Amino acid sequence: MLTLRPYQEAVKAAVYDHLRSRDDNPCAVVPTAGGKTPIMASICKDAVGAWNGRVLILAHVKELLEQSADKLRMVCPEIAFGVYSAGLKCRDTNSPVIVAGIQSVYRRACELDAFDLVMVDEAHLIPAEGEGMYRQFLADAKVINPALRIVGFTATPFRLKTGPICTPDGFLNHVCIEVGVRELIRDGFLSPLLTKAGINKADFGQLHVRGGEFVADEVESLMDDERLVEAACGETVGYTGDRRAVLIFASGIKHGEHIVRVLAEQHGIECGFVTGETPTRERDAVLGRFRRGELKYLCNVNVLTTGFDAPHIDCVALVRPTLSPGLYYQMVGRGFRLHPGKQNCLVLDFGGNVLRHGPVDDLRIKPVGNGDGVAPAKECPECLALIAAGYATCPQCGYVFPPPDRTKHEAKASEAGILSGQVTDIEYEVRDTTYSVHTKRDAPPDAPKTMRVDYRLGLNHWQSEFVCFEHEGYARQKAVAWWRQRSPDPVPETAERGVEIAAGGGVASTERVTVRSITGEKYDRIVSYKLGPKPDPVPAGDGFCGYDPDEIPF
């Protein structure tokens, strides 16, 4: 008997609440590897056992059909179910629950007869318009039973060209619940992710766009460059010495064959290879070896983005660019699953996808061709981390990006915070400290000024903070506390006087600082210091500010 996790129970409850309170159709958003199939199996158990209904589960790949059948056996062994799939050589039409491949049944709604409930796995594949297989079958099914209810399940509730999959006039109308990637990682239900970008970069700016995606032939020609392939293979091998299962996404068949050949000839590594053209028996044999751990490296072209379940995957290499945030998410999602001994999943991004789309739990969805706005991520020039654009400090290596208006160094690589909201505290040695008066941009002449303190934490790597002597309230209190930790002298009333004293050696030196970075937040901040001894008092001259030290929050 399978017991649902708390968030899975919450998803089921949200679906039921929608079906009871509304007359349209819901969609539940559950991350890849978050367990959509057990939820659907549990709903089948209720629908048939408690309400005497009939249910159809639709999916588009054989692997998803097999997963649904396995979970149904676990959750509700007392309920008869059948499978309708040409690929699985089953054509059951009479059971109260049927698991069907859309390719096999899209013209056979009448043959399957009436259903009370249809659940669609990977529901983002239902096209927004036209005469696709899902639309044809669902339209026919509603003719057979006008009271039919449809429930969608997906990790990515949007389409590249048309936006959200839930629309007032579509087959799915409302997202009834959305479970977040970050929350499931935090609660231990998904594997943590790390990511690195390739050192050698392709020029993606030369690619053209057709139908909302890069032109496939151009992508393969670009990525199949000898230098890029050899570099990507070399870096992948270098990063994955202690990894157990590496899944590689290539840009095309020729490109994938090139990757397999370089891994074999230059690194002595056997890498499996599957494409849409691989015969079924051969593909099943290769995937079986990979799942059993007999094959560490597996390269594929457009076939293992959804439905492929190999929980031990602890590295995903994206050797292809995509404009589709959904495809990017699905590729990365192959590494979400937990597995004994697996501490995290390393994502190697050679296609600029994290920079293009942002962290997987905070994807930037925008119309194709709209290049406006700030990039959702950036690269660390020290360790190849891919991090949210607002970062001032790399959460992986501690590199501090120069403050605005300082000379920037040429980027050479980057390592990644692929998830937003992650908190990282890193301590640095302070190599130099400068003080200056700062005036807020476009502020009136009489606006309060601040003392800007810039700490040099590396070669032209800086972290700034602002001390607000001229402000009121909590900002002034913080400035008083900052000053009293460093100086025996009265607290300055102006930023100019503070700079004068500090630059003249009137405050303790700062030896080390701890910088806190939170992925997705715009600025890092200093949270603690290691200070040298306070200097001797300067000659009296300024009056005491009037604050009682016991009243100042530290």
Q: Following DSSP, what letter does each residue of 19-78 receive, concatenated? A: HHH-SS-EEEE--TTS-HHHHHHHHHHIIIIIT---EEEEESSHHHHHHHHHHHHHH-TT
Identify the weakest region by mean pLDDT among 181-190, 253-262, 342-351.
Answer: 181-190
Q: Is residue 396 part of a domain?
A: no
Q: Is residue 380 part of a domain?
A: no
Identify the weakest region by mean pLDDT among 52-61, 78-87, 214-223, 264-273.
Answer: 78-87
Mean pLDDT, the chain, rounded, equals 83
Are 174 and 227 members of one domain?
no
Residues with Cβ within 8 Å of 420's Cβ and at least 6 positions away in sequence, in order, are: 182, 358, 359, 361, 362, 388, 519, 520
Is residue 551 over pLDDT 50? no
Degrees (nearest 5) of the Cα angle 100, 102, 103?
A: 115
Q: What is the pLDDT of residues 93-117, one digit of tens each?
A: 888 999 888 888 888 889 899 999 9
Q: What pLDDT, on the 0 to 100 scale, is given for residue 161?
A: 66
Q: Which of 10, 50, 6 is nearest to 29 (CA)?
A: 10
Is residue 329 over pLDDT 80? yes
Q: Is residue 217 part of a domain?
A: yes
Are 492 and 433 members of one domain?
yes
Rounded (10°) CA dihedral 233, 237, 239, 242:
160
Per-residue pLDDT averaged across 407-419, rounded? 38
d(CA 398, CA 72): 48
Are 316 and 201 members of one domain?
yes
Is residue 297 over pLDDT 90? yes
Are 222 and 84 members of one domain?
no
Helix (H, G, I), strand (E, B) or coil at 214: strand
Is residue 341 over pLDDT 60? yes
Answer for the pair 74, 47: CB distance below 8 angstroms, yes or no: no
Identify the weakest region by mean pLDDT among 14-23, 73-82, 402-411, 421-430.
Answer: 402-411
- CA dist 501 to 106, 430, 465, 542, 547, Å? 79, 20, 17, 11, 19
d(CA 253, CA 266): 20
Q: What pLDDT, on the 0 to 100 scale, is given for residue 159?
A: 77
Alpha helices (H) in 320-452, listed in sequence order: 325-333, 353-357
Q: Is residue 418 part of a domain?
A: no
Which phi and psi (to 5°) does residue 149 adopt? -110, 140
Are 168 and 239 members of one domain?
no
| Residue finishing a domain among 153, 179, 205 | 179
Answer for the pair 293, 191: CB distance below 8 angstroms, yes or no: no
Q: Is residue 159 part of a domain?
A: yes
d(CA 229, CA 66): 35
By percentage, how much of the chain surpasses pLDDT 90? Answer: 43
| Residue finishing a domain among 157, 179, 201 | 179
Strand 246-249 and strand 297-301: the pairing is parallel
| Residue finishing a domain among 147, 179, 211 | 179
pLDDT band at 483 (very low <50, low <70, confident <90, very high): very high
Q: Is residue 411 part of a domain?
A: no
Per-residue pLDDT averaged across 440-466, rounded? 82
Is residue 386 over pLDDT 80? no
Is residue 415 over pLDDT 60? no
Q: What pLDDT, on the 0 to 100 scale, is given for residue 380?
A: 62
Task: Identify the domain containing residue 509 by its residue range.
Answer: 423-551
End-to-end Cα distance, the chain: 54
pLDDT band at 147 (very low <50, low <70, confident <90, very high): very high
Is residue 186 over pLDDT 90? no
Per-residue pLDDT averaged across 230-241, rounded? 92
The DSSP letter of residue 392 is S
Q: Is residue 242 part of a domain?
A: yes
Q: Is residue 157 part of a domain?
A: yes
Tokens standing for residue 519: 């992925």
Tokens standing for residue 217: 């032939």
Q: How many helices (H) does the chain have, and how many strands (E)?
A: 15, 27
Q: How many domains does the chain have?
A: 3
Q: Which of 103, 154, 94 is nearest to 132 (CA)?
A: 103
- Classify each residue of 244-267 as buried b or exposed e, where b means 16 or more C-beta atoms within 10 Å of its C-beta: ebbbbbbbbbebbbbbbebbeeee
Is residue 457 over pLDDT 70? yes
Helix (H, G, I), strand (E, B) or coil at 84: strand
356: left (phi over 0), alpha (psi -120 to 50) or beta: alpha
Are 430 and 521 members of one domain?
yes
Are 330 and 202 members of one domain?
yes
Q: What pLDDT, on the 0 to 100 scale, is given for residue 23?
A: 93
Tokens standing for residue 41: 């199996």
Cβ of 136: how many Cβ atoms within 10 Å? 15
Are 174 and 199 members of one domain?
no
Q: What pLDDT, on the 0 to 100 scale, is given for residue 552?
A: 35
Q: What is the pLDDT of residues 132-142, one digit of tens each?
A: 889 899 999 99
Q: What pLDDT, on the 0 to 100 scale, is given for residue 253?
A: 95
Are 158 and 268 members of one domain?
no
Are 510 and 463 members of one domain?
yes
Answer for the pair 85, 66: CB distance below 8 angstroms, yes or no: no
Q: What pLDDT, on the 0 to 100 scale, is given for residue 411?
A: 28
Is residue 81 over pLDDT 70? yes
Q: What pLDDT, on the 0 to 100 scale, is given for residue 360?
A: 78
Cβ of 331: how many Cβ atoms within 10 Å? 27
Is residue 398 over pLDDT 80? no
Higher pLDDT, 361 or 41: 41
Amino acid at 464: S
Please give the full DSSP string across 163-192, using - where no structure is assigned: EES--TTSS--EEEEE--HHHHHHTTSS--
Are 157 and 242 members of one domain?
no
Higher pLDDT, 81 or 13: 13
Q: What is the pLDDT of residues 236-251, one digit of tens each?
A: 999 999 999 999 999 9
Higher pLDDT, 518 or 335: 335
Per-residue pLDDT averaged across 254-270, rounded? 97
pLDDT band at 459 (very low <50, low <70, confident <90, very high): low
Are 41 and 160 members of one domain?
yes
Report the CATH number that the domain containing residue 98 is assigned in CATH: 3.40.50.300
- CA dist 107 to 101, 142, 181, 466, 496, Å? 12, 14, 36, 67, 79
Q: What pLDDT, on the 0 to 100 scale, is given for residue 389?
A: 53
pLDDT band at 521 (very low <50, low <70, confident <90, very high): low
Tokens standing for residue 388: 């949210």
- CA dist 71 to 36, 81, 103, 162, Å? 10, 11, 22, 33
Q: What pLDDT, on the 0 to 100 scale, is given for residue 523?
A: 72
